[in-house]
Structure 1
Amino acid sequence: MQLDRLDIAILKHLQKNNRIANNELADKVGLSAPACLKRVKRLREENIIVGDVSILNPELAGNTMTLIVSVEMERDRADLYQRFRQSMAEASQVTQCYQVSGNYDFLLIVCVKDIQGYEHFVERVLHTQLNIRKFHTSVSLRTVKFSTEIELSEK
């Protein structure tokens, strides 16, 4: 789907606040309310907008530790990779999982309450994966930037 300037304007506003009233959104992008609502509906139907979520403060939810885990696999087999991806998708502590190129095969963002929570995650999830050669864990000391917004431009 080709995005025009109005679609992009709508998406930029929705990325900042997806609870904005349709009338207010329409005013901000210069459309009538029905036309704006129609565009937002089309953006959802065409999977440009794939979800609407509330982003929680992890500390208030009790998860005070964020860890970045780099995982190197033993064997390069599609079935083993698929099994690992499925396991990461099911692990509630894994908030993001990327299959990457370079020295490691996967990069995980793991959020837990404390170091004991991470140890439990390692024992229950990572150590049960027989195809992992090794993994390296870095502890985040501070969140400098966290955003779900992506840059948009007309093509």
Structure 2
Amino acid sequence: MTIPLDDADLTILRLFQEDSATPIRALAEAAELSVPSVQRRLRRLREAGVIEREIGVLAPAALGMAMTFVVLVELERERLDQLDAFRRRALRDPNVQQCYYITGEADFVLICLARDMAEFEALTQRLFFADENVRRFRTSVVLSRTKVGLSLPIGE
């Protein structure tokens, strides 16, 4: 559902996506609105699904998840039930951070985290080798994180 967004909404969203703990008063000052008005707008944006979730972003390496992998997955059959089954398995696996259904040579691209190669090998057993519908997968090991984010480019 798309809702109309004015400049004040965009200002609130721009600041909110950078830090959802930004005080309401700071959002109100930036948007040139009252605190109650910002509270109403945030409620409307949440109810409309513009704000999907409010989360804390953790540093993977600080929690022992030192390795990141980009995995291209090609399925044998692309029936809807087979695609949905793979999606559900990816959604349930805690090592899968992102999963995209894509066009091109592969059917899915996954961004996965692991403590070490042994943990990643266990993930490959769970998600790929144990699934008869996975034709092949290709893995790239991430050497360094240059940019990671979910912030949307909201115009000034």
Give the secondary-structure state (helix, strand or coil) at the position aligned to 2:139.
strand
- Whether 2:94 is the aligned partner of 1:98: answer no
Identify the match of residue 44 of structure 1 among 43, 46, 50.
46
- The corresponding residue for 2:37 is 35
Listed as ranges, the gaps of 5+ residues in structure 2 are: none
Aligned mates of 1:47, 1:73 — CA distance in 2: 32
Q: Which has the higher contact order (CA 8 A, sep 6+)?
A: 1
Amino acid at match of 1:41: R
Aligned mates of 2:107, 2:126 — CA distance in 1: 20
- The corresponding residue for 2:86 is 84
State percent identity of aligned pairs. Answer: 34
Superposition deviation, residue 117 in structure 1 = 0.6
TM-score w.r.t. the length of structure 2 is 0.96
The number of equivalent residue pairs is 154
Aligned mates of 2:5, 2:133 — CA distance in 1: 42
Moved over 2 A (4+): none
- The corresponding residue for 1:147 is 149
Aligned mates of 1:12, 1:152 — CA distance in 2: 6
Q: CA RMSD in A?
A: 1.1
Listed as ranges, the gaps of 5+ residues in structure 1 are: none
- The corresponding residue for 2:8 is 6
Aligned mates of 2:95, 2:82 — CA distance in 1: 21
